[in-house]
Amino acid sequence: MEAENDAEEKARAKRLDQVHKRWIRLVQGLRIRERLHKQYSSNAGDAQAPHWLDTENAETHGDEEVRFTPIHVSWS
């Protein structure tokens, strides 16, 4: 009877420890996500920064205009 109670208490403690570790991991991930969002988002409010693989819009660098050509790959 007492061994049963000890086993239940140990299982409960183990489960609470796992829950605690998951919450810590979640909060750390959210903090990292927030930091990266601040670091890489544009300064123009909530508008999304252009993606570096954006092939629809040309970028200008000085006098030169850079255009990206999409590559179509077939796996067949």
| Total count of domains within the chain | 1
Rounded CA gap, 8 and 14, in Å? Answer: 10
pTM metric for this prediction: 0.49
In a domain, 57, yes or no: yes
Q: Is 61 helix (H, G, I), strand (E, B) or coil?
A: strand
Tell me the pLDDT band of 32, cut-offs 50, 70 and 90: very high
Mean pLDDT, the chain, whole residue set? 78
In a domain, 71, yes or no: no
What is the percent of the chain with per-residue pLDDT over 90, rounded to a whole number? Answer: 46
In a domain, 74, yes or no: no
List the domain range (segments joined by +) for residue 60.
2-66
Q: What is the pLDDT of residues 33-59, one digit of tens each?
A: 999 999 988 665 555 555 656 656 555
pLDDT at residue 64 in the model: 61
Mean pLDDT (whole number) for 17-21:
97
Rounded CA gap, 74 and 53, in Å? Answer: 19
